[in-house]
Amino acid sequence: MLKEKKKQQQSLHKRHSEYAFANKQLEKLSNGVFANGELPTFSEKINETGHFPLRPTKLEILQINVGYMCNQVCEHCHVDAGPDRKEIMTRETMLQCLEVIKNTGAHTLDLTGGAPEMNPNFRWFVEEASKAGIKDFIVRSNLTIIRANKKYYDLPDFFKKHNVHVVSSMPHWTRGKTDKQRGAGVFDLSIKALQELNAVGYGMLGSTLRLDLVYNPSGAFLPGDQTSMEKDFKKALLEDFGIHFHNLFAITNLPISRFLDYLIASENYEDYMYSLVEAYNPAAVKSVMCRNTISVSWDGYLYDCDFNQMLELKVASKIQHISEYNEDILNDRNIIISQHCYGCTAGAGSSCQGAVAK
């Protein structure tokens, strides 16, 4: 029992799990029901609806992953993040990113991790990046980091000072469901952090300090309707804890990394892939986030999205690193796809900004 508990507090990497490796994940996604023709591959499916090859539109979002270290080890993390991950963006790579941030045509800068705040250069990077005047500057904060250690207690004020848009995961408004997915004690710390963000003005009606929450399902099922879930979350969090926030993004769990490991271990993998394929929505393909996003990894390599980054699928372009960034050349590429992409096109679709289609 204790051994099992300890395992749950470690990344797949630390556990030397088979699915810590991108090639093993891709192998799983290419074989079985997709190799024997029971289900169409993603490229076959989008070809049927005239969307192959998938090509970028104009770049709008630059997403930078500043490291895989995190104070949490959530059950379904697609990054396989945790306290034992040591991959951290250096200041040198951040300087290369800043050059790009100053010159990009993107209107959104999105810092993610792991827990981005755990990067020792995080505050310096935010201060510098905020000077570039990008319209929407997002930091993906897991909330508990704000209460994890005294040195993080002033994060709400720091975010406010730099007019950062805070986007935070909150899988449910109940303690049981949240703690099951994200770890014991996460719910209470998240509530406290949300109250502190509200106290400095985040998430309040009419406030320009944006606070959005992200929901992802706790098991092998697709998210419900984003609009009605947002209403339920707002009602429950306000009534129970006096908490306000702006929008809720409902995100589908993609079958990679720890969620793939969970699907296989719980014998839900095939059923889940069937439900993703059956829910395929051609309207969502047009708006998948890789079409207007570039994802930068902790070591400066470029990817079509954060999921491709975790699968180590670099952009299909002669420009592959932030140090040689060229938006025009990068935009002239085919997006690399595999069966995990079905997670972005099921139902209302899914992106880091939630549903993408009606």
What does the alpha-carbon distance between residue 180 and residue 192 come to, in Å, rounded to a whole number? 18
Q: Nearer to ligand SF4 by C-beta: 101 or 305?
A: 305
Other C-beta atoms closer than 10 Å to the C-beta of 6 total 10
Span from 31-39, 69-77, 148-156, 244-252 in contact with ligand SF4 (CB under 6 A): 69-77
191 Cβ contact list (under 8 Å, min separation 6): 241, 243
Residue from the set 81, 166, 213, 229 that interacts with ligand SF4 by CB under 6 A: 81
Q: Nearer to ligand SF4 by C-beta: 96 or 344?
A: 344
For 345, the token pair is 């096109």
β-strand pairing of 61-65 with 165-169: unpaired
What does the alpha-carbon distance between residue 61 and residue 39 come to, in Å, rounded to a whole number? 32
Span from 87-95, 148-156, 192-200, 303-311 in contact with ligand SF4 (CB under 6 A): 303-311
Site for ligand SF4 in 329-358 (CB under 6 A): 335, 337, 340-341, 344
112 Cβ contact list (under 8 Å, min separation 6): 63, 64, 65, 66, 140, 306, 352
Residue from the set 12, 62, 74, 243 that interacts with ligand SF4 by CB under 6 A: 74
Cis peptide before 53 (omega within 30 of 0): yes
Residue from the set 289, 315, 319, 355 that interacts with ligand SF4 by CB under 6 A: 289
Reported as type and span, the H/E element at residue 108 is: strand 108-112
In angstroms, give the least distance from the CB of 206 to ligand SF4.
29
304 belongs to the binding site for ligand SF4 (CB under 6 A): yes
Task: Quote the distance between the C-alpha of residue 101 and its chain's center.
Answer: 20
Q: Nearer to ligand SF4 by C-beta: 209 or 313?
A: 313
Span from 68-76, 94-102, 187-195, 244-252 in contact with ligand SF4 (CB under 6 A): 68-76
Binding map of ligand SF4 across residues 99-118, x = CB under 6 A, - = no contact = --------------xxx---
217 belongs to the binding site for ligand SF4 (CB under 6 A): no
Sheet with 293-296: list strands edge to edge.
Answer: 248-250, 211-215, 165-169, 136-140, 108-112, 61-65, 293-296, 302-303
Span from 22-30, 237-245, 268-276, 300-308 in contact with ligand SF4 (CB under 6 A): 300-308
Which residues contact ligand SF4 by CB under 6 A? Answer: 70, 72-74, 77, 79, 81, 113-115, 142, 169, 288-290, 304-305, 307-308, 335, 337, 340-341, 344
